[in-house]
Structure 1
Amino acid sequence: MKLLIVVSHLRRGGLVEVVYNLCQRLVNEKRVQLTVLSLRKEPADSRIEMFRALGIEVLSLNNSYFACELRSSLVRAQVQQIVNQYQIDVVHCHGYHPALVCAGLVGVKKMTTLHDRATEDFINAFGPFLGRYMLNRYFHALAGFDLNVAVSESGAELYRQFLDNVDYVNNGIDTEKFGLLADSERAVKRKHLHLPEDTTLFVTSGRVEREKRCEELVEFFAKKVQNKQVGLLVLGDGSRLESCRQIAKNCPNIIFTGRISNVADYLQCADYYVSYSKSEGMSMAVCEAIACGLFPVLSDIPSHIDVAKPIGGLLFKRIEDVDVNAVLSKRIDKNELHEYIDAYFSMVSMTHGYTNIYRRLCAE
């Protein structure tokens, strides 16, 4: 089977991380011949060489954002040429522009992964006018695919309100990279990362943006958490980072790392994971944290419920409702948390789900 995976670009981020995890496993599938195609020019922080290091052929069309948005039929013709030349059996798209471009391809099975909750995320990110315009284009394109695959069960329920051809495969992480540390190793690593040794650390990770409600989260730890032995570790960068720093300027127990490449190291040194996000497709960050043995304290959005409810994670409507002392009193089995993610949200289980879909499409 010849498979073409299509992305907008290979810039570091959650979507590309999912695709990379999938490719890591697919290269070992003898019955799958894999090619990756990016539609747009690769940015400075592209991971294209990491994909090539897996032994995968990676093609890039080097189009602009506006070409993909406004001249998608011309970009589609470029992709159709590749489909014909490589005799592709299945095209697997990831993201908004790949969906717009590839919906009209002919002579090939087409599927796309729905990484977000578009009805929420497009409006939150782009505002009501542009967000609704994009939603209309997106759903029109999705109707042209043989199958649309959500990244969680709740995501599939959302998209089934608008589309008939929806399935789901849980996102998967590298559970070897995101694993447990012995207490002695953890103490050494904390010291190496200059983290306070005797502080119970809550950690949050990902983009520091308005829809993640990072400022409200930081304010809660700065003003409401009175226990001086409790800290907050904020991993990542974004447009609201400086505002968060200002809120926490007199709070030594709130630590900001900015953009980092060693997220797993910090997660393994923390105690609890906290997120106040408004919307997620399927949070890789949450899965990574639980795999590192961190008990989840999460806003009660559908994708958080999907992951955290089966293991008794704490789900809240407002961050002000969280009783930190009650969280600290919980008994946590870190091995059980890791094994849960390994079983249901690993890149092995994710790849198994997708390969079954590929075979099913080819057989139809």
Structure 2
Amino acid sequence: MEKIKKYKIVYVITNCKKTGPMNQTLNIIKNLDKEMFEPVLVTLFEENFNDSMKDKYKQYCKETYCLKTNKLGAVMTGKRRLKKLFSEIKPDLIIGLGMPPYNLCSKYKDAKKLVTLRNYCYEDYPSKYGKYIGRMLAYKDMHIIKNNLKQGNPFVTCSKSLSDIHREKEGIEIPFIRNGVDMTKYTRGKESEKKELKRKLNIPENKKVITYSGILFDRKNQEELIQGVINSQYKEDVILLLLGDGIDKSDLEKKYKKHTNIVFAGNVSNVEEYLQVTDLYATTSKSEGMPNGVLEAMAAGVALLMSDIPQHQEVYDLDHRMGAVYKLGDIKDLTEKIDWIYNQDLNSMGEYSYLTVTNNLTAVIMSKNYQKFYLDILEDK
């Protein structure tokens, strides 16, 4: 019997900070066919062990390496050092988590390379790096993407809508593989257990819970969600939980400190428990790749209310019975949707949400799609 060739896949990452893209990459790796693929982890920077997933990666990557450099060192010597390391590892496929790691791998010519585009850089970079620097970096990265595509090098996005945006705005064709959620981490909240869990989390038992989980900054647009809740006729009957941190958190806390039903919980390690007591997951983002927070809420069987950006619409169009969308920037429409959904059967919506993610957006489905894509690249299909 002919032995199956085992491919060595090297994942190059700045460090293993707890982020959505890091979770998605871990979901791919942990579900790989280990008879066919051997994952290897290479990090550029040392870890902040208060905010690191490296131990989880080590469970699935037998080989791990760290350059122990910094941003300046990566710019000055990163390409040369990675080329030397790859010469020792001998990878078949190199995957950069984001454009900076991908660019640093360019000097090594003996392996195929891939990056998943998880945003449209002209939308994402200005809010992350500032208006002018962000636009310059976006122009630089888009130039690199287009040049590599012309040379036949593969790219993939994390949602159909993101591929559509690149086609419509940049005239480039990039395939997509939708993000997936690890279903083993989430369970649907049982009504019999919600009261006790609410007490544990210090959440009023008699109020419906609206939750958002993620970074608090302009592109995520949390103030619009806060305004929608404050303007709702049911504002006294709901509590809005904002889970996460970010550059906007302090200012928003100060601005809305008089509103006791707006709770800034900060970074929490038990998002799963908060989702179990959540009645409605709401996101008002201006732009996304494929919304991880939405997928996690669906895995917990929670109804959805989302802005009508293409990435949210893509999820919503899988089954409209799991919630609602509102027109981004229209607080009146958002408030009306909150008021409408308050009186709907949220348990039923949550069931449709759970079924939709189970059938379409799991980590296992995503990883299988990536493995097929890896093989297509490696076998030049």
Normalised to the residue count of structure 2, the TM-score between the two structures is 0.89
Deviations 1:107-149 (A, max 9, x none): 1111111111212001222233211221122123323262111
Shift of 1:255: 1.8
Instruction: Give runs of aligned pairs for residues 83-162 of structure 1, distance below 5 A.
Output: 83-142=86-145, 143-144=147-148, 146-160=153-167, 161-162=169-170
The whole-number CA distance in structure 2 between the counterparts of 1:123 and 1:203 is: 26
CA contact (8 A) 1:209 1:240 kept: yes
Contact 1:180-1:291 within 8 A present in 2 as well? yes
Q: Which amino acid aligns with 1:144?
A: N
User: Which amino acid letter does the alignment assign opposite residue 343 of structure 2?
Assistant: S
For residue 3 of structure 1, report the CA deviation from its aligned partner: 0.5
Change in CA separation of 1:56 and 1:171 when aligned onto 2, cut-off 3 Å: farther
Q: How does 1:9-28 map to 2 (within 5 A)?
A: 9-26=15-32, 28=33
Match of 2:48 among 43, 60, 82: 43
Matched residue, 1:66: 72
Gaps of 5+ in 2: 1-6
Deviation, 1:16, is 0.9
Deviation at 1:247, TM superposition (A): 3.1
State the alpha-carbon separation in 2 of the partners of residues 225 and 138 from structure 1: 46
CA 1:173–1:235 in 2, change beyond 3 Å: closer, same or farther? same
- Superposed CA deviations along residues 17-72 of structure 1, whole A, max 9, x for unmatched, are 1111112212x53111110111223234222122113353221112212333x43x
Structure 1 residue 359 corresponds to structure 2 residue 359: no
1:361 Cα offset (Å): 1.0
CA distance in 1, matches of 2:255, 2:233: 14
Task: Indicate the SS of the match to 1:270.
Answer: coil
Quote the residue 1:314 is aligned against: 324
For the residue of structure 1 that corresponds to 2:215, the secondary structure is: coil
Q: Aligned partners of 2:70, 2:333: CA distance in 1, in Å?
A: 45
Does the residue aligned with 1:201 lie in a helix, a strand or coil?
Answer: strand
Please show how residues 204-219 of structure 1 align to structure 2 within 5 Å: 204-219=212-227
Contact persistence 2:161–2:311 (CA under 8 A): yes
Q: Aligned partners of 2:370, 2:175: CA distance in 1, in Å?
A: 11
Deviation at 1:320, TM superposition (A): 2.8
1:328 aligned onto 2:337: no
Shift in Å at residue 158 of structure 1? 2.0
Once the two structures are TM-superposed, the CA of residue 304 in structure 1 deviates from its matched residue by: 0.9
Matching residue of 2:356 = 340
SS of 1:310's partner is: coil
> Matched residues, percent identical?
25
Contact 2:302-2:349 at 8 Å conserved across structures: no
Q: Which region of structure 1 is more displaced relative to structure 2, 294-303 or 186-195? A: 186-195
The one-letter amino acid paired with 2:220 is K
Q: How many residues align?
A: 360
Q: 1:226 to 1:333 in 2, by over 3 A?
A: closer
CA separation in 1, counterparts of 2:315 and 2:238? 25
Instruction: Work out the CA distance in 1 between the residues paired with 2:263 and 2:112.
Output: 48
Whether contact under 8 Å (2:219, 2:287) holds in the other structure is yes
Question: Measured at CA, do residues 139 and 105 of structure 1 come closer, stay the same or move farther in structure 2, by a change above 3 Å?
Answer: farther
Instruction: Report how far residue 290 of structure 1 moved.
Output: 1.7
Gapped regions of structure 1 (runs ≥ 5)? none
Pick the aligned partner of 1:31 from 32, 36, 45. 36
- Aligned in 2, Cα 1:294/1:319: closer, same or farther, shift over 3 Å? farther
Which 10-residue stretch deviates more, 241-250 or 346-355? 241-250
Q: Is the 8 A contact 2:8 2:38 kept in 1?
A: yes
Map of 1:191-340 to 2, 5 A cutoff? Answer: 191-312=199-320, 313-317=323-327, 318-322=330-334, 323=336, 324-331=338-345, 332-340=348-356
The one-letter amino acid of 1:48's match is K
Deviations 1:317-348 (A, max 9, x none): 22331212211223324333112112221110
**Equivalent in the alignment of 2:3:** none
Distance 2:206 2:25 in 1: 38
SS of equivalent residue, structure 1 residue 242:
helix
